[in-house]
Chain A
Amino acid sequence: MGNQIAEADKKSHLQHHFVDSDQQFESSKLGMWIFLVTEVLMFGGLFVAYIIYRSWHPDLFYLAAKELDTALGATNTVVLIASSLTIALAIRAVQLDKIRSAINYMAATVALAGTFMVIKYFEYTDKFAKGIFPGAGYTYDGIDHDMAANFFSIYYMMTGLHGIHVVIGMGLITWMIIKAKKGFVHSGYYTPVENTGLFWHLVDIIWIFLFPLLYLID
């Protein structure tokens, strides 16, 4: 009798319309991948704007990219790679029922994401101080090109939408830390942590493309 209750408790995550935990896990993960497809295509629109604009004004991109700090961009790339590693280690820890260390790895991921946003804040405020705003607010005259404002509109839209995703990711990972602390996730059920990890890795992948495309135009 006691055994049955323990067994039922362990399977409490299993919803009635799934055959078993594995099917539920696979379905949920496929759903997450389909959501990631919509994310790729949303950022895709911005990448298309970038490609068309660069094909029209290659000289503008050479001049304007000099305003971006390669060292800060590279630091942020390293920070995001480290955060991808820590979230992957967190998932490994949950799979092995090491909930304490999973919580620590997720906290490290949130801290690294925060570091990324702080560096981004310094980059943005440095540009705002020079009068580099998106669109009509652009007042900087250090770039000798008529279309200089448009490069920065593309820059702010791409890095801004990415930054919003970093903040959302921090929120999701914090939520997962709370779930883990309450004992809702374990080796038998870690779907939310897995899907949050997938989201976080996609944010990393998008930055992997943004960094060379915006900062490394020599």
Chain B
Amino acid sequence: MSSHHISSHFTLFGVAGALLVLTFLTVAVTWINIPEPYNVIVAIAIAIVKAALVAMFFMNLYWDSKFNSIVFLLAILFFVIFVSITLLDTLFRDAGLPIY
């Protein structure tokens, strides 16, 4: 089983440390008032970096067969399509739906 990647303590603790720093950062940026819509963009950007760290180094995608990464990225692509096509409808309704 020598072909399997075994993560070093350095990698695992390093990634966890980076995740903690980014968690602090995402809370800290709310203390300075970043104007709309940039505050949402910053929050999502930090979350994407954190998710990428978990997926690459904790879930081993970095060392795995690249096919697993393609499968995961396709899920995200289909989620983006889901969001985009729904927003094309809901953002351009004349008066919204007052009951909701």
Question: A-side interface residues toward B, CB under 8 Å?
Answer: 21-22, 25-26, 29-30, 33-34, 36-37, 40-41, 44-45, 47-48, 51-53, 55-56, 58, 70, 74, 77-78, 81-82, 84-85, 88-89, 92, 95-96, 147, 150, 187-188, 197-198, 201-202, 204-205, 208-209, 211-213, 216, 218
B95 to chain A, nearest CB (A): 11
Q: A212-B43, A216-B26 are in contact. List 8 more A-B contacts (CB 8 A).
A: A37-B72, A74-B27, A82-B16, A84-B16, A188-B1, A197-B58, A201-B59, A204-B54
Question: B-side interface residues toward A, CB under 8 Å?
Answer: 1, 3-4, 6-7, 9, 12-13, 15-16, 19-20, 23, 26-27, 30, 33, 36, 39, 43-44, 46-47, 50-51, 54-55, 58-59, 64-65, 67-68, 71-72, 74-76, 78-79, 82-83, 86-87, 90-91, 96, 100
- Is chain B's interface secondary structure helix, strand, loop, or mixed overall? helix
Tally inter-chain residue pairs, CB-CB below 8 A. Answer: 127
Q: Which of B20, B51, B83 contacts A48 (CB 8 A)?
A: B83
Residues of B within 8 A of A202 (CB): 59
| CB <8 Å contact, B58 and A201 | yes
A166 to B30 Cα, complex, angstroms: 27
